[in-house]
Chains A and B, each alone.
Chain A
């Protein structure tokens, strides 16, 4: 498959910001695999004797795997990375190098979120004096093609980077033979054997389907498919209330599709409850439907082609039915551990999650085998943590450093229509650890200036700074809903990492008029019961 790029910028932002090349064309997708030296007795001793093919073989070319392999190569290691995408269950969607983030995660998700924000901006623009005739329609194909082309350019960019950094890229499905041998199988079934001093598993995860709902897999899609649809998904039911579910429902609503989220119990589990409520309140106010306390029962395809979903309201016990053009399952993600041959080698998995049990240094229960990213137990499923952990692991494996990944103080942002950024503890968790009396919460409901002229309701724009009540009032958690939350929260996460206290927040002069300044202006405590609504400048 050949396609041309019209991109003419110097550098493009991907999760690992690479220098982008001008107007190139991708080569054919069949990777010529060099026959590798293979030997019947692949033993650790063999490798220790310095006769391995590679110093490091990484299975999985996602954010973490790529960062790890490139870092290792830069430190002079001989590195190969294996990446292979099993087509998705329903849509048979496939994609290129770069893993979830680039292909079916962060990147296309944020771009569709941007499209949805522009949908809202059209309405605001009218209030700002822009006269736009008629109703503004959205064309899925235009957006999706542009995003898909961008993703393909990123796939290619990653390959160029691997080549530049002298990392051997193999489009093979990798599995473990022993602690220093990896078997790679091509799409055509051709087998390649590689030996390595160290093996890193970073195969990530894939969306799950429910197992007990008739029609779920036959008729439903997941986040693996949504970004690659050639036609608009139409009226959509999103099942689940994780951030993936809410983000997808948010952008579908924003580009004008009739969208319903079906929630069994609570939304954004693990996040601060109050903030999660604000996020879903805003979505409801801006047109996303919610079916709360509802459990899907079955999905049937009608002769019209529509998908009829039957569900139960768990509060009333009543059964409901409605028809959709698409059903998107966002009920969680499962690690890609099944076909790696881990059991045979005795790599320990968590029995419940089937994720790989790892130490602080990303080591597994088997020497020379390491794992990190979405596949490892107890780690945040986030691109930047995987990238950072991968780089640090590469440095340790190359003997250049002993620094471990610090998984604390990780900030994150949910790109729902009203973005939500946070770092540190939720209010519930802070109270659990420090006691209700040990925590002081400063909060503010603020009105972004951009909402005023646009006459937009701002009742969910909220800031919460959770501090220790005594001593220096060290900040325990910081939460922000509002426009550009992702851009706002990064700097605060840095100050949080530096151990910021509430007085230090206050000592910083605000930037007027911005939303971010409201964070350094919070002064009403929850305890006081005073109205936390910001008035005036």
Chain B
């Protein structure tokens, strides 16, 4: 899965302006029109662009660059580092950590394959230094890409003014454009100390990427993919890890086969799973945090058990994400948001205010980097190339969870297919096997696969899998499913031997 998180801010965004400012002359060099603000009593100037993008993450940058290619005079406002969640506190550093964890698994298998790698130790410090250096290089690449495309980078927090013409103020300077894109992303939700006393002693996935050492004792709270990935990485790298989930399984929005299997795999990998449980309070002792957990018996509603985990040096909340809209002052703009604060957009990324658009995590739909990128580019083509029908297709979006082993999924779950098509019109194909890699290893994990087919022609509407290599298997299948492939098409495809992915085309 793509996006993760953004740095948690303890103070109000507008109170902390970033330091780096573009020299004013560079705006002129790039040909932006500067004019005297006509409506403002302060008399400050408003810089005018063709396209103003708020948020230098995956979606914003992709939209800005495509717009610039289409000769739109474009600026990007970013309060933090370029690249957004994905590059800084999401997909990229997450996958680096996952790769490090995969090496831990390989090291288990080395002996079985004849290698004598023994007395192995892990240095989180070395890994973090390399990861940070890589991320910094990426930040620089993004900066260079913007410069090359002659896109203004405006450093600071954006806030809409109350003027009738939509205008954005950054560090006291004002900017406007006929087309303004809000792509500010999201950030991890946190529990308040009112809800759970001591909750603020914990961190979120943002904090995970700031950890300087491998925690000895971790508690991860949540059942979504971020919780699953974080718990998997920590446990595999050698932290004793507990995962606290409210119900009996993780990934409950995924196909039931995946949900059940992933829950089992977490336990196989040594994650201490607390089902039907919630954190009641957290306190600090001289041996670390003490996390108190209430476990309910799902059968007997009133039967509660209270347990504690002591000596915790990493309590990680992974209970969801919320949009970054506070401080934008969109309320006065006529841009509607839903009950959770997500910006409401139509299929063309239009908000309820003309000339203002929204995309990516801030809209709360398909929180994935490639989705935001595609939506940004489609929007640029619509606005600056006159392609009226250019819009993002949100159907059949493939996603991968970097669990151990990884999960790949695209399209409808079995339950969703039954709900829309009726049980009699849904046919399921399933298989499970031990990947050949594990044929000679003592460490083993199964690969499970499922195809959800609909109708007489057995159109494949869903594909779900968990196992070694599933992360790289999914993409090509996603193309075929998007094309409307049927089970017969799968059957007519010759297998590639010996792979795990061939099992999808040899299913009976």
Contacts and interface: CB of A to CB of B under 8 A. Distances in A.
Interface stretch (A29-37, A140-148, A205-213, A425-433): A140-148
B122 interface: yes
A382 B476 contact: no
A493 interface: yes
B374 interface: yes
A536 B433 contact: no
B497 to A, nearest CB: 5
Contacts, number: 314
Contacts of A303: none
Nearest to A516: B475
Interface stretch (B88-96, B259-267, B308-316): B88-96
Contacts of B472: 483-484, 487-488, 514-516
Interface in B359-376: 368-371, 373-374
B497 A130 contact: no
Given A130-B121, A537-B373, A125 B92 contact: no
20 contacts: A9-B434, A101-B497, A107-B436, A110-B498, A115-B115, A121-B103, A125-B120, A129-B125, A129-B130, A136-B110, A139-B114, A142-B113, A453-B131, A491-B476, A495-B477, A510-B370, A511-B408, A511-B474, A514-B475, A517-B475
Task: List the 4 shortest-distance A-B pairs measured between CB atoms, nearest first.
Answer: A491-B476, A492-B476, A143-B114, A129-B127
Contacts of A132: 107, 117, 119-120
A518 B97 CA distance: 21
Contacts of B121: 130-131
Nearest to A403: B492
B274 interface: no
Interface of B: 2, 58, 83, 86-87, 91-92, 95-96, 99-100, 103-104, 106-107, 109-127, 130-131, 134, 138, 141-142, 145, 368-371, 373-374, 393, 396-400, 408, 431-440, 444, 446, 469, 471-480, 482-485, 489-490, 492-506
A90 interface: no
A15 B498 contact: yes
B480 A510 contact: no
Interface string A460-496: 0000000000000000000000011011111111110
Interface residue range, chain A: 35 or more
Contacts of A384: 494-497, 502, 506
B122 A130 contact: yes
B390 to A, nearest CB: 12
Interface in A1-23: 7, 9-13, 15, 17
A443 interface: no
A150 interface: yes
Secondary structure at chain B's binding surface: helix, strand, loop or mixed?
helix
A497 B475 contact: no
Interface string A413-424: 100000001000
A129 B96 CA distance: 11
B117 A493 contact: no
Contacts of B109: 118
Contacts of B95: 449, 513
Contacts of B127: 128-129, 453
B370 to A, nearest CB: 4
A342 B199 CA distance: 81
A348 interface: no
A86 interface: no
A137 B123 CA distance: 22
A467 to B, nearest CB: 14
Given A409-B494, A497-B492, A516 B469 contact: no
The winner among B91, B103, B492, B494 for most chain A CB atoms within 10 A is B494
Interface string A83-96: 00000000000000
A158 interface: no
A111 B439 contact: yes
B117 A508 contact: no
Interface stretch (A182-190, A282-290, A498-506): A498-506
A400 interface: no
Contacts of A10: 432, 434, 446
Given A494-B489, A495-B485, A497-B480, 13 more contacts: A13-B435, A107-B498, A122-B110, A130-B103, A131-B122, A133-B120, A143-B114, A504-B483, A511-B400, A511-B478, A514-B472, A519-B476, A537-B86
A494 B451 CA distance: 14
A507 interface: yes
A166 interface: no
B115 A122 contact: yes
B494 A125 contact: no
A137 B106 contact: no
B114 A142 contact: yes
B505 A490 contact: yes
Given A115-B114, A519-B476, A537 B498 contact: no
A319 interface: no
A498 B480 contact: yes
A218 interface: no
B263 to A, nearest CB: 19
Nearest to B105: A121
B478 A509 contact: yes
B142 A536 contact: yes
A500 B480 contact: yes
